[in-house]
Amino acid sequence: MNNTIKKTIAVLITFIVLASAFFGYDSLFGFVSNNGIGREALAAALGALFVVLATGIQLNHQQHMEIERHKKQKTYENRLNCYTDLLKTKSVFKDKIITSEKVEIVSSQQLLARLVCEQEETFSALKTFTGIIKSIGDDHETNGKKKLSATEMEELTGAYERLASMLMLDLKDGFNNLSKTEKITIKDIRDHNIKASSLGSDAATTQNFGSNADTEAKRNTSKVSFKNVEYTKKLYVYKVMKNYVETEGSKTFSDLQKTYKEEKLSEIDGLNLHEAKQNFNGGNPFWLKVDQALEKKNKSKEDSWERYWIEDDMLLNFSDGTKIALRNGQNTKSVEVFQKWCEKNGIPSK
């Protein structure tokens, strides 16, 4: 018997007793003589009955409230422990090595967190988080284990930071106290149109290479979705091109170059040709042959040169043996140019 039925029965019983006392008051006292203490004793007995009944109902309600409070407290503690244990799994990557066993540890802990979460938004955030971790792990699945690049560590750290922000809202029941605008933002996160700046951004910074993007574009830390996983802009471009190279194995770098000659770019509807020329053929284009990127590095006087990803595990290899290094920096305008170019050339970018 659930608590609602119990409360209903208690109210009905109380009503019946009070109704009986009201309508039967005169007849009940009619059986008692006016002389002596009979009436006083009966009145005292009825008064005691009502006090006991009212006290019993109150105690029952207090007991029920205490049980519910205790249950909520235990539930909260379980959620806190599960969420804390999940976030602590970040420590397994401190050696910058990813393995299938580590991915399984994170996945298992995430399932426990999903079991205790009470908010739809949290459930979606946990699911997205696991997708990112598995995506990073899938890249190294054939090797059993592999050292994570600096970019992948940045991606992993960002995923943990965004998840922590969502879990904090869940523990504070923050989803129910958000403004209308904030709720729309949360919905965007759930629909893979995340704006990390609203809930804590990752460590990535958007740099302006080959484009005269304005200050707002530089500050924009919104994510871009590819295959239902959210990435920073620079990682998004890298993932799309990596997928292109791996799925179009027969394509050579020369084949790719033909698609962004100036006359080809001018054929793309709605494309800002100036931005396109800057990003494809400017001083710091989307990508360079590895020897060109290394030449730039050698000529640079910067202490820490990170304009292009020149690490061996980040290079993209074409069937003709050409290796290219992608630019380590994108902004809103460069991504828009890139997406229009992908759409024109049938390159999956969603």
329-343 pLDDT tens trace:
888 888 999 999 999
Compute φ and ψ for 139, nearest 5 degrees.
-65, -20
**Cα separation of 259 and 269, whole Å?**
14
Provide CB contacts within 8 A for 228, sequence distance 6+: 131, 192
Contact 200, 164 (CB under 8 A): yes
- For residue 341 the two structure tokens come to 């170019």
**Cα separation of 33 and 20, whole Å?**
21
pLDDT at residue 205 greater than cutoff 50: no
> Which pLDDT score is estimated for 326?
92
Tens-digit pLDDT profile for residues 38-97: 666 666 776 777 777 778 777 877 887 887 777 778 878 888 888 889 999 999 888 888
Residue 303: CB atoms within 10 A of its CB come to: 5
* Closest CA relative to residue 92, chosen from 106, 80, 82, 81: 106
**Cα separation of 244 and 287, whole Å?**
14
> Which pLDDT score is estimated for 299?
82
DSSP 56-107: HHHHHHHHHHHHHHHHHHHHHHHHHHHHHHHHHGGGGGTTSEEEHHHHHHHH
Collapsing DSSP states into helix, strand and coil, what is residue 317? strand
pLDDT at residue 183 greater than cutoff 70: no
- For residue 207 the two structure tokens come to 């740099």
Pairing of strands 287-289, 224-226: unpaired
Residue 281: which pLDDT band, with cuts at 50, 70 and 90? confident
214-223: long-range pairs with CB below 8 Å, 24+: 217/331, 217/332, 217/333, 218/331, 220/331, 220/332, 221/195, 221/196, 221/197, 222/193, 222/194, 222/195, 222/196, 222/197, 222/332, 223/192, 223/193, 223/194, 223/195, 223/196
Residue 192: which pLDDT band, with cuts at 50, 70 and 90? very low
What 8-state DSSP symbol labels residue 318?
A: -
- Kindly compute the dihedral angle of the four CA atoms of residues 92, 98, 101, 107, in this order, to the nearest 10 degrees: 70
Residue 279: CB atoms within 10 A of its CB come to: 28
> Which pLDDT score is estimated for 341?
92
* Closest CA relative to residue 118, chosen from 167, 180, 47: 167
What is the pLDDT averaged over residues 92-108? 87
pTM for this structure? 0.44
